[in-house]
Amino acid sequence: MDPKPATYEPPPLIAPGHSFASVTDKIAAIVLSGRQPMGWFIGVTIGFAITMVLMGALTYLLIKGTGIWGINIPVGWGFAIINFVWWIGIGHAGTLISAILLLLKQGWRTSINRFAEAMTLFAVMCAGVFPLIHTGRPWLAAYWLFPYPSSMSIWPQFRSPLIWDVFAVSTYFTVSLLFWYVGLIPDLATLRDRAKRRSLQIIYGVFALGWRGSVKHWDRYEQAYLLLAGLATPLVLSVHTVVSFDFAIGIVPGWHTTIFPPYFVAGAIYDGFAMVLTLAIPLRWMYGLQDFITLRHLENMAKVTLVTGLIVGYGYLMEAFFGWYSANTYEGFMIWNRMTGPYWPMYWVLVFCNIITPQWLWFRRVRTTPGLLFCVAMVVNIGMWLERFVIVVTSLHRDFLPSAWGMYHGTIWDWATFIGTLGLFVTLFFLFIRVLPMISIFEMRTLVPEAKVQGAEGH
């Protein structure tokens, strides 16, 4: 008889040789042992120092006003909106990994969903800084965006997408926070039971909400977790769709296009997965988590990055096609101005970063080589920031009237605010991995039987 043809068996999601106890020990020790690698101290020190730059820039902004930025006429939107859209986009991957992949029963989300959810929260926090400060006088204007008109002399404009942003982003943050916290409850109970210090037992015990692992607790947990996943799933589509309406409902050439909602959503997932890779690859090396965050996880994330990158590339082509096919003088000029105008280097660099560079992900060697994958992810992060810069600035600096044309360049205070939010994000992330498990303990334990079976078959 002919032997059966060999079939491809994907590698396990957790390296063979682990037991329930070893998984718990490895992940809980990162939090409870009190010992952190030198990389953690370097990272949190650099992040805190850069956060102080943000504090200084915000203080000077409140004293002097938005005149310290590079915004002018006609470019009234600058780094504040660029960075807001960029940070909101980064936050999309956490919800996608957590909610949508959970509903689709994709087991490879298990090792990365916890810190991806935390990344979502911190990215939304960084994004929230910019709507507060770009209004000019936050103590007078920022709260006007919130919908309680009966107590205000000036009512919010409910036809403005800025009001829609308040609803969408606040709902997104609230549901993401609840989803993240509910998933943490069983692990908080594990840390409570394993902690040696009485103070830690009390703190983790309070946040564990009396979890004892009974059948009733697990039943209610699964119901709540699935409910929140169902609520979070449409938010992945709705939040960046609403953000795209900030541009699409205007009549500014280059913005007034119906492709913006799906184009922005795909770009957000693309950028978000690139940031997850940017965080996951150093973390698995720093903490020796190669058994838990395996090459299979990295390869799957690279595949999602490649697919969404192709969608983003299609969006670029359609933008150019619409500008030509519409026969609209202003739209056609705007696309041509992006390609050949004063900001042409930024446009072609973003094309290189977002379309050409990700094509390396077609090769399995690149997808399974952490160093190369990290480089591709970093290039994508830069390219997606440039995309937001090109969308905002090139549509404003040359508007309908040539007499109103002007140039925009970020000042040192624009850059200090943006770089400062990067420091805030890094600081919050490193503090998170110090006090809470970055990988779900109980979900990883559900993979142990599968790893043992595959390991035995391989042996």
Q: Rounded to 5 degrees, what are φ and ψ at 264?
A: -70, -40
Q: What is the per-residue pLDDT for 45?
A: 94
**Over the stretch 305-361, which tens digit does the pLDDT of each residue have?**
999 999 999 999 998 898 888 888 888 898 999 999 899 999 999 999 999 999 999
As for how many domains the chain has, the answer is 1
User: Has residue 242 been placed in a domain?
Assistant: yes
**CATH code at 307?**
1.20.1630.10
Q: How many CB atoms lie within 10 A of CB 403?
A: 6
**Over the stretch 35-87, which tens digit does the pLDDT of each residue have?**
888 889 999 999 999 999 999 999 999 888 888 998 888 888 889 999 999 99
User: Has residue 176 been placed in a domain?
Assistant: yes
Amino acid at 246: D
**Over the stretch 129-171, which tens digit does the pLDDT of each residue have?**
998 888 777 777 667 777 665 565 666 777 778 788 888 888 8
Amino acid at 344: W
User: Has residue 15 been placed in a domain?
Assistant: no
Range of the domain at 111: 20-147+155-447
User: Has residue 230 been placed in a domain?
Assistant: yes
User: Has residue 417 been placed in a domain?
Assistant: yes
Residue whose C-alpha is closest to residue 44's, from 441, 434, 372, 459: 434
Q: Mean pLDDT highest for which of 205-214, 252-261, 264-273, 374-383?
A: 374-383
Helix, strand or coil for residue 239? Answer: helix
**Over the stretch 110-132, which tens digit does the pLDDT of each residue have?**
888 888 889 999 999 999 899 88
Contact present, 413 and 61 (Cβ < 8 Å): yes
**Over the stretch 193-248, which tens digit does the pLDDT of each residue have?**
888 889 989 999 999 988 898 899 999 998 998 898 888 888 888 888 888 888 88
Token pair, residue 50, equals 């850069």
User: Has residue 357 been placed in a domain?
Assistant: yes
Q: How many CB atoms lie within 10 A of CB 83?
A: 23
User: Has residue 456 been placed in a domain?
Assistant: no
**Over the stretch 444-458, which tens digit does the pLDDT of each residue have?**
888 887 665 554 444
**Who contacts 180 (Cβ-Cβ below 8 Å, separation ≥6)?**
98, 114, 117, 118, 120, 121
Residue whose C-alpha is closest to residue 176's, from 294, 79, 94, 78: 94
